[in-house]
Amino acid sequence: MRRPIVAANWKLNGSLEMTQTLVSAINSHSANYDSVDVVISPPFPYLIKVAELISTNNVHLGAQSAAEYESGAYTGEVAAVMLAEVGCQYVIVGHSERREYYGESDEVVAAKFLQVQQAGLIPILCVGESLEQREQGVMQETIVRQVNTVVDLAGIAAMQNSVIAYEPIWAIGTGKTASPEQAQEVHALIRAEIAKQSTEIAEQLRILYGGSVKAGNAAELFSQADIDGGLIGGASLDAEQFNAIVSAAS
C-alpha cells in the first residue's frame, strides 16, 4: 500500500503572518491523519520559519526548486545541500512554470533531480503536457521523454527515493481539471514506463496529480488506482481547502 502525499506549493505567495497562521492550521489538522504525508513548500525566505513551526511527524518541509549545481558563481541560485541544511526533506523539480518561464530543459531538470538526491533529499519530479501537445497526440511521448531523461541520468534505482507529480499544463491555475479518467490514464502510463525497468520500483513509486485540485474534486481523483495524492497550488493557500484535501487523501 503506497502512503499518500499531499504537497503544498505556495509558489510566489506568502508573508510571515500568513506562514504562522497557515502552518499552525495544517499542523493541527494533519495530526489527525497519520496515514498521509503532508509537504509544505513555501518561498525560500520562509523555509526556516516553516521548519520551526512544523510540529507533527507527518508534516515535512519542501522547497520549490534547487540549482543544478552544488556550489559556484551562480548568483541567485540555491543549492540542494543548503536546503538540506535548513531542514528540507523534499524539493520540487521540473514544475511546468520553471520549464516554461525559466527555460528549464529536460536535461536541466534531470541534473536538478540528481543534485537533490545527492543531498539526501526526495525530489518531487513534475511532468506534464501542454494543451497543444495533447491535441496533437504527442502527450504520451512528452511524458515518457520527461520521465526517461531523469531515469537515463540518475538510474532506475533513483526512483525508489522519489515522487513523480503529473501536472497537465493546461490545468494549472486555469480552473480546468483533468477528469479522474484522464489523470488515471497518465498515472498508469508513468507507472508502466518505470515498470519496464523495475516492476518493484514501479509498484512502490508514489505518483501525485496536480492541476486545479480542490476540496470538491480531490476525493474522486485520489480514488483512482494509480493516483497517490496531490501537488496543490492555489488551494494550498487556504487552510480549510487544503485540510479538506488532506482529509480526502486519508
Return the active site residues.
95, 167
Helix (H) or strand (E) holding 6: strand 5-9
CA torsion, ordered 228, 153, 186, 204, to nearest 10 deg? -30
Cα–Cα distance measured from residue 31 to residue 201, given in angstroms and rounded to the nearest whole number: 29
Here the cell at position 99 is 520549464
Are 213 and 235 contacting, i.e. CB atoms less than 8 angstroms apart?
Answer: yes
d(CA 108, CA 32): 39
Question: Which among 119, 115, 43, 112 has a CA at the least distance from the CA of 81?
Answer: 119
C-alpha 137/C-alpha 127 separation (Å) is 16
